[in-house]
Amino acid sequence: MSCLKCLKYTMCAVNFVFFICGSAIFGLGIFLMTTSRFAALLPSLKAMSIANSLFITGIIITCVSFLGFLGSLKENRCLLISFFILLFILMLVELTVACVLLMFEAQVDKSITEDLNKGLKISVKNRHENKTSNDDWDIVHDAFECCGINNASDWMVGEIPKSCCKSIACRQNGTASYWTKGCYTKLKDTFENNLLNAGIGVIVVCVIEVLAMCFSMTLFCHISRPSLQYK
């Protein structure tokens, strides 16, 4: 009985932490959606801008953690089994995506590069027509200190955004002092240099999900249906 109580409150505490994190990501997505105008990095996934991605990710984390928290706290079998099923589906999706990336790495890399080039051309066109002064590319440039896909030459002459500048003088006077590495190139290099850490991170996430499913199923099996109390 004491072990089950400990398990219950551990589930509540962990899911509460994830709920707060999900809410923060959700709020950041809303903030970006209301303060900036966006052009998708990948035209094939027009709806998946940075703001929309954060918004959707925040909703998923918030909803799943809320089910786990409330199901554990109220000892509700329906909520616990819903939490288990959602986590199981998420894990299957993550494993599927990982397998696809490993099996078709070259094709995926080529497809992403082509789509990024299309997105960059759309951004150049929008900037030229003054339809937008800030989009996903500016956010990526500032966040990763990079420029373009492979380097600054990916942008048309005279169309290189100020977010590519390495110094304040460059942003103010237009002095050609840009980040030398492209964003996609830098992202790939960073991932390859930290492949072990990335692998450990994926394993940790999977372990957390498996433990959460085991804990939820344990509580589910020890709660009687009519009285909603431990057997």
DSSP type of residue 230: B
Question: What span, in angstroms and rounded, lies between the C-alpha atoms of 19 and 15?
Answer: 6
Nearest to 124 by CA among 163, 160, 88: 160
Give ∠ CA 71-76-77 in degrees, rounded to 5. 105
The residues, any chain, with a CB within 8 Å of residue 193's CB and separated by 6 or more, are none
Question: What span, in angstroms and rounded, lies between the C-alpha atoms of 61 and 25?
Answer: 9
138-190: pLDDT as tens digits: 888 888 888 888 888 888 766 788 888 877 767 666 566 788 888 888 888 88
95-121: pLDDT as tens digits: 888 888 888 888 888 888 888 888 888
- Domain residue limits, the chain: 2-221
pTM of the model: 0.73
Question: What span, in angstroms and rounded, lies between the C-alpha atoms of 135 and 145?
Answer: 15
